[in-house]
Amino acid sequence: MANINYEEICQLALDFRNRCFLNAYEAIDCEKLLLQLNVLTLFRPLSTSFSGMCEKKKDKRFILINSNQVLSRQHFTIAHELYHLFVQKEFKIHICNPGSTNTKDIEEKKADTFASNLLMPELGIKRLIPLSELKEGIKLSTLFKLEKYFSVSHTALLYRLKDLKLLTKDEVERYSKAPVIKYAQLYGFDTKLYEIAGNEKVIIGDYAILAKEKFDRNKISESHYIELLSEIGIQLPDIVNEKN
């Protein structure tokens, strides 16, 4: 974690939670948080090397997420992009691949650390781990419980626990070899978190509302309005003239 003030990033994540009226231990609902923050977010199938990107102009903020990646990965990317949009001092539009081990970009490393702390708060993690396991070692079943609760990947959780000194390097290596989907099913959890989310063309925000308002004010043509809505999977050829 060279060149990163880890404690400072942890505090930034906690401050951001407070700003969003989230306590220090609860899990985050990414969709609700994006709506609360008024961040227009689009999900599109993209290449495997592209996890997401963000952009902001004045008070308008936008995130693009790769819908071809598993759900837990998408959650981490959203949290990563929130760092760039709301915390990073000198914002520059760029493509992100959160969790990449070979990045030399200091802001990317900060964004990853912020995302990990934001999604998996220390207090929340420790509240869910039985006291006996905190003393004697965390069970694999508890790891899957934590992943489910915080909606994060197996790998992200392991490294977060290592940062908190709740797992050793050897334990991380051992647990990382566990067949994730198999054990999730074994412990009674669904596997949606570890699968492609199937949310291609999902949109979070006021995209459709803004398009409708522009159409109602005659700022865009009917054909343009239909085209904008079709981009997010809405077909309204029969009701576009019903202006309210």
- CATH number, domain with residue 24: 1.10.10
pLDDT at residue number 236: 58
Average pLDDT, the chain: 87
202 assigned to some structural domain: no
Judgement on whether residues 97 and 147 belong to the same structural domain of the protein: no
Contact 164, 210 (CB under 8 A): no
Judgement on whether residues 92 and 53 belong to the same structural domain of the protein: yes
Judgement on whether residues 128 and 213 belong to the same structural domain of the protein: no
Task: Flag whether the pTM goes above 0.75.
Answer: yes
Judgement on whether residues 10 and 113 belong to the same structural domain of the protein: yes
Judgement on whether residues 147 and 212 belong to the same structural domain of the protein: no
Which range marks the domain in which residue 31 is found? Answer: 6-121
pLDDT band (50, 70, 90) for residue 237? low
pLDDT at residue number 82: 97
Judgement on whether residues 16 and 43 belong to the same structural domain of the protein: yes
201 assigned to some structural domain: no
**Identity of the residue numbered 192:** K
1 assigned to some structural domain: no
Average pLDDT over residues 29-35: 96
Judgement on whether residues 133 and 211 belong to the same structural domain of the protein: no
pLDDT at residue number 239: 46
- Give CA–CA dist 99/96, Å, rounded: 9
CB burial of 155-182 (b: ≥16 within 10 Å; e: otherwise) equals: bbbbbbbebeebbeeebeeebeeeebee
Question: Which of 80, 100, 121 is the endpoint of a domain?
Answer: 121
35 assigned to some structural domain: yes
Judgement on whether residues 60 and 70 belong to the same structural domain of the protein: yes
181 assigned to some structural domain: yes
Q: Which of 95, 87, 99 is nearest to 10 (CA)?
A: 87
Judgement on whether residues 186 and 127 belong to the same structural domain of the protein: yes
Question: Which of 73, 95, 121 is the endpoint of a domain?
Answer: 121
127 assigned to some structural domain: yes
pLDDT at residue number 221: 75
97 assigned to some structural domain: yes
Judgement on whether residues 233 and 189 belong to the same structural domain of the protein: no
- Please write down the HEC assignment for all residues of 162-221: HHCCCCCHHHHHHHHCCCHHHHHHHCCCCCHHHCECCCCCCEECCHHHHHHHHHHCCCCC
Instruction: Convert the pLDDT of each residue in 64-84 to its tens digit.
Output: 999 999 999 999 999 999 999
109 assigned to some structural domain: yes
Judgement on whether residues 147 and 181 belong to the same structural domain of the protein: yes
Question: Which of 121, 151, 177 is the endpoint of a domain?
Answer: 121
Number of domains present in the structure of the chain: 3
Judgement on whether residues 100 and 19 belong to the same structural domain of the protein: yes
Give the total residue count for the chain: 244
